[in-house]
Amino acid sequence: MGIERAVEHVKRSRHLIVFTGAGVSAESGIPTFRGPDGLWRRYRVEDLATPEAFLRNPKLVWEWYAWRLKLVKNAEPNEAHRAIALLEKLGLVKAVITQNVDGLHQRAGSKRVIELHGNISRVKCVECGYKGELDELPKEIPPRCPICGGLLRPDVVWFGEPLPSDKLAEAYREAREADAVLVVGTSGVVEPAGSIPLIVLERGGVLINVNPEPNRYDPVATVNVRMTAVQFFRDLIRALKAPSP
Ligand code: NAD
């Protein structure tokens, strides 16, 4: 299964980082984009999560975000999120680089989280650049800027948009320092994020790929562990004789 080899690599690592995607939150009830529950109404994600879609129909895009935001607000971090936070506390994990926008790593207690794709609970104004937090679901859709009345958009990275340069630089720095990366619950197809774990490999480190399905890392990973995120971290925590998270 690869789990024993994965545990050995984790134990031996000096600078372990975790790279996560939508799959780590699947067991919290948040659908991935590419799984069977990934569709909303009959739209493809690529037709909603783009600047063009927002310009064309901000109301439709906001209805989708309101649906996702509600799922995120009602979700709880799962055992995998909590184990990652525990391993950071124990000094084993140095950073979490996530493509997720749900904030569940932080809610589980992770401190050093690099959010590559923004956060669904934040908004920004397309007119004046105002940024704010969404403590509750927007009352009016699409919501308006409290400063200038312009359109607010989710503070996330859409397809075709550049990633925040400071976050990307931080993620590259972590990947260059790491001698091991745990890649959890990502297809790896979204670039440039998907290439970050490969930096660890290129520099002689190990890549542990945790996913119930094959993905882009399968052919190159040091170890492939065909498990769900929760199953994997349960086994890892037990093997490390750490307290349960
Ligand atoms: P993806 O939908 O392309 O891939 C999800 C991956 O998770 C797949 O490889 C799947 O096999 C795997 N997976 C499914 N259930 C799993 C489980 N229980 N444990 C471990 N792995 C599991 O997602 P992506 O690679 O993250 O890329 C899509 C983009 O959309 C990213 O930016 C992503 O973060 C974003 N997104 C975010 C959320 C969120 O914040 N929760 C949800 C959906 C999509």
User: Which pLDDT tens digit goes with each residue over 44-55?
Assistant: 888 899 999 999
Statement: residue 39 has pLDDT above 70: no
- The CATH number of whichever domain residue 102 belongs to comes to 3.40.50.1220
Domain count within the chain: 2
Statement: residue 221 has pLDDT above 90: yes
Q: Whose CA is nearest to atom 3 of ligand 1?
A: 187
Do both 13 and 123 map to the same domain? no
- State the pTM of this model: 0.95
Q: What is the pLDDT of residues 143-180, one digit of tens each?
A: 999 999 999 999 999 999 999 999 999 999 999 999 99
Ligand 1 pocket member 26 (CB < 6 A) = yes
Q: Give the alpha-carbon dihedral of 206, 207, 212, 215, to 10 degrees.
A: -140
Whether 245 maps to a domain, the answer reads no
C-alpha of residue 172 to centroid of ligand 1, in Å: 21
Q: Among 99, 134, 156, identify where a domain stops.
A: 156
Ligand 1 pocket member 35 (CB < 6 A) = yes
Q: What is the pLDDT of residues 211-220, one digit of tens each?
A: 999 999 999 9
Judge whether 149 and 122 are in contact, CB under 8 Å. no
Q: Which domain holds residue 37?
A: 31-74+119-156
Structural tokens at position 41: 């109404």
Do both 98 and 187 map to the same domain? yes
Alpha-carbon span 237 to 239, nearest angstrom = 5
Does the annotation count 15 as an active-site position? no
Do both 181 and 225 map to the same domain? yes
Do both 177 and 216 map to the same domain? yes
Statement: residue 36 has pLDDT above 70: no
Mean pLDDT, to the nearest integer, of 96-115?
A: 98
Strand residues in 99-240 grouped as ranges (E): 113-115, 118-125, 131-133, 152-156, 180-184, 206-210, 223-225
Do both 41 and 55 map to the same domain? yes
Ligand 1 pocket member 92 (CB < 6 A) = no
DSSP assignment letter at 162: P
